Amino acid sequence: MRAQASIEYMFMFILAFAMIFAALFAYNSGYLPKTLQTGEQVGTLSLQNSAQYIVVQLNATGTWKDIKSKAVSLSTSNGKTTCTVQGTSYSGDYSGVINYDVNGKNMGQIYDDCMDGNDEACKVIICALGS
């Protein structure tokens, strides 16, 4: 009975080493970093898609033409960001802090930054113009 328990522990020990080596192989071969990078890209694409949908809707009504030249102000309080498009009734809240410098940028430039892959710019558009 004691010998069987020792053999079982030995197989568990070998299995643990095999799992460690497999994880190291996957990391060194680039599988895990590529997977993590792909996850980040999916998040960016989702934000871009949401921002683009908002702009397409505004384009359909002719509103985007007027809004894209407007500046945006951001204010953060208690971990929540409020986005306001200057000179319009568009304003909204985001449940986190948006780390994006809107100074000197209008909505059109912020949209361009979003489409260039800046997640924070996309959050500004979604916050300010999303419903």
What is each CA distance from 25 to 5, 11, 14, 22, in whole angstroms? 30, 21, 16, 5
Residues 15 and 66 in one domain: no
Q: Looking at the DSSP assignment, which residues form a beta bridge with residue 84?
A: 73, 91
Separation of alpha carbons 43 and 99, rounded Å:
16
Confidence at residue 42, expressed as pLDDT on a 0 to 100 scale: 65
> Into how many domains does the chain fold?
2
User: Which residue range(s) make up the domain with 45?
Assistant: 40-130
Confidence at residue 7, expressed as pLDDT on a 0 to 100 scale: 75
Residues 87 and 45 in one domain: yes
Confidence at residue 34, expressed as pLDDT on a 0 to 100 scale: 59
Residues 54 and 109 in one domain: yes
Residues 46 and 92 in one domain: yes
CA torsion, ordered 65, 66, 67, 71, to nearest 10 deg: 120
Q: What is the pLDDT along the chain (131 residues), one digit of tens a residue?
A: 566 667 776 777 777 777 776 776 666 666 556 555 555 666 778 889 999 999 999 999 999 999 999 999 999 999 999 999 999 999 999 999 999 999 989 999 999 999 999 999 999 999 999 85
Residues 65 and 110 in one domain: yes
Residues 20 and 79 in one domain: no
